[in-house]
Amino acid sequence: MKLVDTAGLRRRARVDHKLEKLSVADTNRAIRFAQVVVLVLDGDSMLERQDLTIGRRVIEEGRALVIAANKWDAVDNQAEARQRLHDRLETSLPQIKGVPVIHTSGLHGRNLDKLLDAVFSSYEVWNIRIPTSPLNAWLMAMIEAHPPPLARGRRIRIRYMTQIKARPPTFVLWVSQPSELPDAYLRYLENGMREHFKLDGVPLRLQMRKGRNPYVKET
């Protein structure tokens, strides 16, 4: 395992020194080539704008994300802080639900073992391969519970699904009318997939292709 420590990103208006600009470039490069990114927050100032910038960049690059809420021992109302962080994640980073949050104290070395466990667990999820048979059994159950909408008077059909790569987990859906399937329905599938297959804390990619199941021969 290789650990890379980078500086955080500051507001753009404050990035005026050549060394600091290089630091920002190093942070972006580290995210691009990382596998799991640990976003370290101060317990008393969690998920500010620049934290969210980093979080969104991690998602764009398709990396697994773990959050370390540091200096937790200095937080007065920990229950309130936990809820505030949870709500902020739900509203500001909805693309990556279930991000592991570990409450740490760098000063006292508290929960650093749990942080490493979360990193290894996220790495395993990031590398996961789901067999096609259980994936399509799950898909059929989701469609039966909540069918896709009508488009131009015809029901949109989702014929088949398979995983085409990991790191991050990427899936293809064969759809009768891909351009007509609403984003809300894709989010329904993504959220259901996270819950059913335990895919918390990693970006998921859902792609669509037009047509029938490519592995069923026409008769």
CATH 3.90.1300.10 at 12-126, yes or no: no
The residues of the chain that CATH labels 3.30.300.20 are: 132-210
The residues of the chain that CATH labels 3.40.50.300 are: 12-126
Count Cβ atoms below 10 Å from residue 146 Cβ, excluding itself. Answer: 12
Would you say how long the chain is, in residues?
A: 219
Rounded to whole angstroms, the Cα distance separating 84 from 46 reads 9
Rounded to whole angstroms, the Cα distance separating 65 from 33 reads 13
Reading the chain (219 residues) residue by residue, the pLDDT tens digits are 777 877 665 555 454 554 455 567 788 899 999 999 999 998 777 788 889 989 999 999 999 999 999 999 999 899 999 999 999 999 999 888 899 999 999 888 899 999 999 999 999 999 999 999 999 999 999 999 999 999 989 999 999 999 999 999 999 999 999 999 999 999 999 999 999 999 999 999 999 999 766 666 554
Task: Give me the pLDDT at residue 127, please.
Answer: 98
Tokens at 67, concatenated: 């959050």
Instruction: Output the pTM of the full model.
Output: 0.86
Rounded to whole angstroms, the Cα distance separating 88 from 8 reads 19
Superfamily of domain 132-210: K homology (KH) domain (3.30.300.20)
